[in-house]
Amino acid sequence: MKKIFFILCLFCVILLLPVAASAVGNISVSSSPSGSLVYLDGTSTGTTTPAKIESVASGSHIVLLRLTGYQDYTQSVIVSDNATSTVSATLTATQTTTTTEAIANGSIYIQSNPSNAAVFLNTVYQGKTPVTLYNISHGDYRVVVQKTGYQDWSTRISVSLGTRSDVYATLSPEVTETTLVTTIPTATILKTTTPIKSTIKVPTPWPSATATPASPVSIPAILVAVGAGLIVLRKR
């Protein structure tokens, strides 16, 4: 029973304890001129300067200010628990190089797919795509776009005073001739000769139709001649 009572008391104490405050702080942001969009760690806060960003987790953060006509401003800030960190920025205006002559002349905007290709205007190198060429006099020009591994792309354009001509180049990969060498293995042909026993019977030759001529002197005639010679010899 005592154990149950002790557990209940401990449970009540835990419930009555205050919840520990989260480790967060605030950031106060101002800029000159004001009205800059405020980004925290790359995400827009939806506020403009002057602004106060609340409930920011303790630690290191990046504040970015962006205002049209001015260069972006970034600053690293450390946020401490239950403290307010301050960011005060003086923005720098974007420099413009527009002159009366540039306005009077024309311009050429050149883009390519893929990008980062070399641009030549009448054989003169102008930079890498995408690029805008300013202060181009009125007239016709040849634009060449080159990139390693792709075929050269070119076109002719006309530039008018006070206008911009757009050029979009779609580059085609280079076609390389590939020589396919096919090696045909040499086959060794074994010729096997199998003797075939002939089953053709050779016909027996017929007797010659011409009879062999008999000797002109027969054996009895020789005997008679020998006997006659003996008789003649005895009579002498």
Where a domain ends, among 124, 141, 170? Answer: 170
Domain limits at 31? 24-90
d(CA 6, CA 22): 30
102 band by pLDDT with thresholds 50, 70 and 90: very low
CATH assignment at residue 41: 2.60.40.10
State residue 108's pLDDT score.
Answer: 92
What letters, b where the CB count within 10 A reaches 16 and e where it falls short, cover 64-89? bbbbeebeebeeebebeeeeebebeb
d(CA 155, CA 142): 6
Tally of structural domains, the chain: 2
Q: pLDDT tens, 59-80?
A: 999 999 999 889 999 999 999 9
Residue whose token pair is 């070399």: 118
d(CA 111, CA 130): 4
CB count in 10 Å sphere of residue 162 = 11
Considering the domain architecture, whether residues 106 and 152 belong to the same structural domain is answered as yes
- Whether the Cβ atoms of residue 145 and residue 123 lie closer than 8 Å to each other: no
Nearest to 120 by CA among 95, 87, 86, 154: 154
Considering the domain architecture, whether residues 75 and 120 belong to the same structural domain is answered as no
Q: DSSP state, 174?
A: -
In a domain, 140, yes or no: yes
Where a domain ends, among 170, 191, 222? Answer: 170
What order do you get walking across the sheet with 84-90 strand by strand?
51-57, 24-32, 84-90
Considering the domain architecture, whether residues 104 and 128 belong to the same structural domain is answered as yes
State residue 20's pLDDT score.
Answer: 44
Q: pLDDT tens, 7-41?
A: 665 655 555 444 444 589 999 999 999 999 999 99
Considering the domain architecture, whether residues 161 and 106 belong to the same structural domain is answered as yes
Where a domain ends, among 69, 90, 111? Answer: 90
Considering the domain architecture, whether residues 163 and 107 belong to the same structural domain is answered as yes
Considering the domain architecture, whether residues 68 and 104 belong to the same structural domain is answered as no
